[in-house]
Amino acid sequence: MGVTAPTTTRGSRWATLRPWLAVAARLGLAAVWFLAGGSKVGDLAASGRAVHAYQVMPYDVATVVGAALPFVELALGVLLLVGLATRLAAGVSAALLTVFVAGIASAWARGLAIDCGCFGTGGELAAGQSPSYGPEILRDLGFLALAGFLLIWPRTPVSVDGWLAGAPPVEDEDE
């Protein structure tokens, strides 16, 4: 008589929970991009000034980057909301968030007093105002964790990716 390993429910619980955690990560990150892009798209010049406040690129380049950024953020929001090209959207999100964290850390290290411009116009702070770089970096690292989760497990239920695959997108643990 052979000895069999006891059945574990831990693996099956993870297999059941993981796809729904990925849905939550996908929708949460989509909401972040919609809020970020939506708060800037109405005033592209202000978005450009916010990028320029970081003092890492010439004014003309910063205004172009600032004007394009809200549309990139909104496009990422749409892709993540519907679950289309999820791994690609997560990768671009991770890259952008890494740049944002580096930019905020750089501003902090150089003693700049700016509002990050993440969810609004941003730019230089008025005299006497102090920046909140630590919480901004921690917030963006949390968003980066969501993007990382989706890089590892991009296929989720209720997504165009899953529908295009023609099968339930939750079976393959080795994506």
The pTM of this model reads 0.86
pLDDT at 147 over 50: yes
The residue ranking higher by pLDDT, 128 or 13, is 13
pLDDT at 173 over 50: no
Q: What is the mean pLDDT of residues 90-103?
A: 98
Looking at every residue in the chain, the average pLDDT score rounds to 90
Q: What is d(CA 54, CA 29) in angstroms, rounded to the nearest whole number?
A: 24
The confidence band for 122, taking pLDDT boundaries of 50, 70 and 90, is confident
The confidence band for 169, taking pLDDT boundaries of 50, 70 and 90, is very low
Q: Buried b vs exposed e over 162-171: b needs ≥16 C-beta within 10 Å?
A: beeeeeebbe
Among residues 70, 89, 91, which one has the least CA distance to residue 79? Answer: 89
